[in-house]
Amino acid sequence: MFLRTLHAVSDTEILCVETDGPAATQALAEAISATLADGDLLVLTGDLGAGKTCFTQGLGRGLGVDDRITSPTFTLVATHEGRLRLNHLDVYRLDNLGETLDLDLPDLLEDGVTVVEWGELIDAVLPEQRLLVELRFAEGLDRDDDYRLIRFDLTGSAWERRRAALIAATESWRASC
């Protein structure tokens, strides 16, 4: 039991940052993109307008994607070619988990970096190894409207190995958790 607890603690690592506007969120994501590798999964969670698509745009820029990136709310998935392929999903309108079968997730996840907006809604069908990115409005804090609090939760050995790289990449935006 004790060992299992230790394992659970070392399996999850949390980093927090804050950004003061969309440009900063994009710059943050661009910095993170340098640490990404083929097969990576990023689960983006946060209310409408929190900045999930904005973050993905920064990732795209860092991955050398030339396409304009928008929320694929109706198409569910958009694929963009870059240094690594960017698979961008928005599952907000997915009616049931069965529909995820149509997305051919295993194939998508194999090739490129996969970003899932509202990914927590299909948590059950996503691999455990992931970078969870939680974006929040800075409500109630002494911040203006363009501030966002962003929390990264690293799960799995692939992300743990990159913990130091992620800490370095996000240093300019560091906040306490």
- Residues in touch with Mg ion (CB under 5 A): 52-53, 71, 117
Whole-angstrom Cα distance, residue 51 to residue 62?
17
- Shortest spacing between CB 28 and ligand ADP, in angstroms: 9
| C-alpha radius of gyration, the chain, whole number | 16
When CB distances are held under 5 to 8 angstroms depending on the partner's kind, the choice from Mg ion, ligand ADP, none that residue 48 binds is ligand ADP
118-157 residues near ligand ADP, rule: CB under 6 A: 146, 148
Q: Does 93 bind ligand ADP (CB under 6 A)?
A: no
Whole-angstrom Cα distance, residue 82 to residue 115?
14
- Shortest spacing between CB 42 and ligand ADP, in angstroms: 13
Residue whose C-alpha is closest to residue 33's, from 8, 13, 58, 50:
58
Contact 105, 130 (CB under 8 A): no
- Side-chain-side CA neighbours of residue 5 (13 Å): 2
Residue placing its CB nearer to Mg ion in the complex, 78 or 158: 78
Tokens of 86: 């960017």
When CB distances are held under 5 to 8 angstroms depending on the partner's kind, the choice from ligand ADP, Mg ion, none that residue 120 binds is none
- Shortest spacing between CB 18 and ligand ADP, in angstroms: 8
Residue placing its CB nearer to Mg ion in the complex, 31 or 135: 135
Residue placing its CB nearer to Mg ion in the complex, 2 or 74: 74
Q: Does 46 bind ligand ADP (CB under 6 A)?
A: yes
**Location of structure tokens 């995820």:** 100
Angle between the N-to-C axes of helices 22-33 and 52-62, in degrees from 0 to 180, rounded to the nearest 10 = 50
Binding site for ligand ADP (CB under 6 A): 19, 21-22, 24-25, 46, 48-54, 71, 117, 146, 148
